[in-house]
Amino acid sequence: MAKIHNLGFPRIGKKRELKFAVEAYWAGSISQQELIEIGRKIRAENWALQANGGIDLGPVGDFAWYDHVLTTTLLLGAVPLRHKSSDAEPDLDTLFRIGRGRAPTGCACAASEMTKWFNSNYHYIVPELEQTQSFKLAWHELFEQVTEAQSLGYKAKPVLVGPVTYLYLSKCAGEAFNKLDLLDRILPIYQQVLVKFAEQGVEWVQIDEPILSLELEEGYCDALRTSFSALDGQGVKLLLATYFDSVNDYLSDIAAYPVEGVHFDCVAGAHDVAALHTLLAKDQVLSLGVVNGRNVWRTDLAGVFEKIEEVAKLRGDNLWLAPSCSLLHTPVDLDQEAELDPELRSWLAFAKQKGEELQLLKLALASGDTRAILEYSLPVKARATSPRVNNALVHNRVAALTVKDGQRQSAFTQRSKVQAQALALPLLPTTTIGSFPQTQSIRNARRDFKAGVISSADYNAQMQAEIRYAVEEQEALDLDVLVHGEAERNDMVEYFGELLNGFAFTQFGWVQSYGSRCVKPPVIWGDISREKAMTVTWTKYAQAQTSKKVKGMLTGPVTLLFWSFIRDDLDRPTIANQIALALRDEVVELQNAGIDIIQIDEPAFREGMPLKASQWQTYLEWAAYAFRVSASGVLDSTQIHTHMCYAEFNDIISAIADMDADVITIETSRSNMALLEAFEEFAYPNQIGPGVYDIHTPNVPEIEWMKALINKAAKKVPAERLWVNPDCGLKTRGWEETREALNNMVRAAKELRVELG
């Protein structure tokens, strides 16, 4: 009979217990031991949820205090020198210093760089490795968690980030070198880890090598062969896990790896199940990821059954069933969603339910009785034809789009002259990315308004007071271009989704974005349209409080698409264009209300790209077009900004230029302006605001530090085309540190205006 296993489970808890515990520890409200106990409780609950849902073999090591790549860095003893407080083994505070630049003990120092985990909205802390890097087994929590699971009666399957993927995701600290030269040093540590697992009685170990979903240079292919040969024979069985796309380019390599099993993503990857069966030896485990680990839609189990029934008969016990990838990317439990529309709820499955889906499929394969899975799949069929999903007016408007709809009235060279005269901004104009601290009073007001405790009038009055405060603070700081602070917004995606048709929301559908940061993505279930203005009233109010320019703030079509759970019955370019048209209406209305600068944020632009480089151009063309559709309904005098963060720009710089935003603001502080190299080599034609301080750490940057960064940027981009800004929004920060940091930023810009002339 087929076995069910899981590649990973959401680590945050049903109601974000880990987030609140970690933040309480950072604030000094609980002790480290109390935090450790909460983590232990969350892991026990996660293992129980999976076992009760039918998972035969649950993951251990998928839990992380910040992120699993950072945990791997500590496991390997690869701690950057600045984050060490002594020569002792790294501890929990070491981990937090690397991730956020500060912990309850030790130094306050620059956090390590953070970027997106492949094409997801999950972030990882980038390992910093030196050419002389040494490794040692230095973090023993993983082995403690194995013992923990075993003591509770669970059969543990430890999960490791594979050594080659780890090196691929790392960066060179100092001068560039071939990171694969470190493989011979890192493999002995992995061997030690596997031997320890064997001593603990572990049978299976999952080695994640998701880089196999990319189009790799031959050096990495050689490294993978070397790696699996070295890891073979350490006393445990190895399950290679691939996911996020097909690995068809490397099937012959995979077949030759000395591993006892291989997992394939059969949702994101176009894999021929019968071919995979013949690829692997009969005594190897074939793991099929047949339930979507990255989305929330109920699985058509009847359709899956038809695809794998024959292979299941042929392979018997050596067929394993699993989600396509770790369930880290999905909410924990749909059973909590008591207020969700019943029909919509019948279309969904969260992490717990995905285990139950696999159990239903397993029973049908074992018995041949398909009645249960046919009944389970009925809502999937109903959704496809539901009149609630399809809107002819929206379809017709998208169908009528032309090339001209994605073009501004004039080229940037002409627009920039008009804007310079209309806006009259100084050299190195200062601004922020949009949000200001979301204080407890703001959160309380939003909560009370939703609960009906306060009236709409009282809520609006409080939000206006918060906007006035944000504007007054910015005027006191003497920022050049202001924002309204976004007090009324719970989240940059959720806020807009609540005001657009075609989006739905959950109460507890949280997923981890990075560290303690969690987001609650909306569910795109139908065609998208805008009924009324979403931001105009708040932005007009802010503009009325000041003589300075106030930016309108919107989330772009690509980000609204990829930071939601996307409907799987319509192609993504069409959905993006639906959103773009809705935003276009908002942009024009903002302009007509007297807002001369409008920012359309696209932080998800890079992560939406296909993993295979050969497919990039098609994506970049439709994504850039969708952005331009949202922005191109305005006059030349209206300045369009966009914002991107925590992504590599080198390979998409031409597409960013193709978006034709007048100003782009980007994250560059953690990379020490290294990301600007792409804009220098490409000769990016428009204006750029490289982030000069990292808002994801509580550390306040010094004036000289920011001046040095701006000077570094001015060597790559002419100063007259530079803006000065933080690298992201400030909603997660406190007012005291925000005020101090922005004061330093403005002073740095003013001093440089004099120095640069």
Active site residue 696: yes
Interatomic CA distance for residues 398 and 622, integer angstroms: 13
CB distance 218 to 171 below 8 Å? no
Q: CA separation (Å) from 313 to 176, 264, 273, 304, 498?
A: 51, 18, 13, 14, 47
Interatomic CA distance for residues 732 and 741, integer angstroms: 14
Q: Which of 68, 263, 277, 696 is catalytic?
A: 696
- Residue 108 has which token pair? 């306050």
Strand, coil or helix: what is 490?
A: coil
Q: Which of 225, 296, 665 is nearest to 503 (CA)?
A: 296
Expressed in angstroms, the distance from the first to the final Cα of the chain is 76
Query: Which residues are 565's β-sheet partners?
Result: 523
- Residue 754 has which token pair? 């004099």
Interatomic CA distance for residues 403 and 411, integer angstroms: 15
The long-range contacts involving 702-705, CB below 8 angstroms and separated by at least 24 positions, are 702/744, 703/744, 703/747, 703/748, 703/751, 704/748
Interatomic CA distance for residues 159 and 204, integer angstroms: 9
Q: How many CA atoms lie within 13 A of 409 on its CB side?
A: 12
DSSP state of 688: E
Give me the residue label for tokens 């004061």.
Answer: 743
Residues near 721 by beta carbon (within 8 Å), at least 6 away in sequence? 686, 687, 688
Q: What is the SS3 assignment for 91-146?
A: CHHHHHHHHHCCCCCCCCCCCCCEEECCCCCCEEECCEECCCCCCCCCCCHHHHHH
Query: Which residues are 157's β-sheet partners?
Result: 59
Interatomic CA distance for residues 280 and 262, integer angstroms: 8
Interatomic CA distance for residues 665 and 644, integer angstroms: 6
Interatomic CA distance for residues 16 and 518, integer angstroms: 8
Q: Provide the phi-psi class of 683: left if phi over 0, else alpha when psi is between -120 and 50, else beta.
A: left
DSSP sequence for 577-638: HHHHHHHHHHHHHHHHTT--EEEEE-TTTTTTS-SSGGGHHHHHHHHHHHHHHHHTTS-TTS
| Catalytic center residues | 696
